[in-house]
Amino acid sequence: MRFLKNFFHKNLRDPELVRRRQSLGRISVFQGLSSGQLTRVLAMLYHRHYQEGETIFKEGDMGRALFIIESGRVVLFKKDKKGGERRLGELKSGDFFGEMALLEERPRSATAAALEPSSLFFLYKSSLDGFTVRRPDIGVVILSALARLLSARLRHLSDKTTADSERNA
């Protein structure tokens, strides 16, 4: 037990862990978590590198994870009715996407691909669900931040729709 405790504390000062913990703490979904809580979140994240042009997920794939861009750039696009691609946006280091998958497992509404070599973390819904039971202090912070984010996006869409309707009237 003493070995594990010393090992854990020694690794808490590892420069790479410190850098990743600080990066994670700047992401809105994880703001409000302490340094120790961020370390626990990092332990449940998966990490993967993607090559330029590599698909991260395809439209229609089952959504099971939130993705966080550690480095690189990602493009999101959707197929149009004619089979072409409509670009939805480009994301960079520190951005995240796929957050709806943390609430419900449903088919992805778009495709995501790396625009350049990219390093991503991902958080599976099943991991967050289990973590929320074991560490509700952390799970509540993440889920509350996610609810605020989705509420703000819905409000923005509602305001845009209202403004478009008034312009067309």
Bridge partner residues of 69 (DSSP)? 120
**CATH number of 72's domain:** 2.60.120.10
At residue 2, the pLDDT reads 33
Rounded Cα distance, 24 and 34, in Å: 11
At residue 156, the pLDDT reads 83
At residue 7, the pLDDT reads 38
At residue 12, the pLDDT reads 63
| Backbone φ and ψ of 38, nearest 5° | -65, -35
Asked if 91 and 76 touch (Cβ cutoff 8 Å), the reply is yes
At residue 3, the pLDDT reads 35
Asked if 27 and 96 touch (Cβ cutoff 8 Å), the reply is yes
| Gap between the terminal Cα atoms of the chain | 70
Is the pTM for the entire model greater than 0.85? no
How many domains does one find in the chain? 1
At residue 17, the pLDDT reads 82
Per-residue pLDDT of the chain (169 residues; tens, 9 = 90+): 333 333 344 466 778 888 888 889 889 899 889 988 998 899 899 999 999 999 999 999 999 999 999 999 999 999 888 888 899 999 999 999 999 888 888 999 999 999 999 999 999 999 999 988 999 999 999 999 999 988 988 888 888 777 777 777 6
Task: Please report whether residue 168 resides in a domain.
Answer: no
Task: Please report whether residue 133 resides in a domain.
Answer: yes
SS3 136: helix
CB-based burial, 4-37: b 16+ in 10 Å, e otherwise: eeeeeeeeeeeeeeeebbebbbebebbeebeeeb
Look up the domain containing 32 and give its range. 2-163
Task: Please report whether residue 169 resides in a domain.
Answer: no
Q: What is the dihedral of CA 25, 27, 32, 34, to 10 degrees?
A: -20
